[in-house]
Structure 1
Amino acid sequence: MNRNFIIKLIHSTLAQYDYIGTERNIPPEDLDTLICKCEREHLKDLTQPLYEVVHDAVYNYLTEDGEPW
C-alpha cells in the first residue's frame, strides 16, 4: 500500500474539516498513527474503499480532540 497516497488522502480529508488552516497542526507521530490505523483497517476489509477508511480514521482523530485512539 502506498503510504504517500494515504498521506495525501489524510491531508485532503483534514482540509475538508478546515483543520490544516487552523493553529493546530497534526504532529508527525499522530500522522504516523493515522497511517498505520488506515493500513490495518483497510487490510481487514479490502472491499471497503480506502478513502472511506481514511475518512473514518480522520473523523475519529478529530472528534477525540487530537488524541489518536
Structure 2
Amino acid sequence: MALTGAAWDVYLIYPPGVAWRSDALPAPAFWTHQLPESGGADPSLRLDPESLAQAVGSMVDLHS
C-alpha cells in the first residue's frame, strides 16, 4: 500500500490463521478502499461490493 496519508473505509481481508507478529501490518490476501487517488490510493482497487463479497466468501470457505 502506497498511501500518503490517513486511511479510512479500507477493507483488509486475511485468510484464517494469519498472525500479526510485529508492529508491521501483514500483507492482506485482498484489500479494497474508498479513498481518493490524491492520497496515493490505486484506483483499480476501489471498492467493488461484488469483489469484496467474493474475497470474504473465499476466506470463509477456507475456514470451513
TM-score (norm 1): 0.35
Structure number with higher strand proportion: 2
Larger Rg: 2
Greater helix fraction, Structure 1 or Structure 2: 1
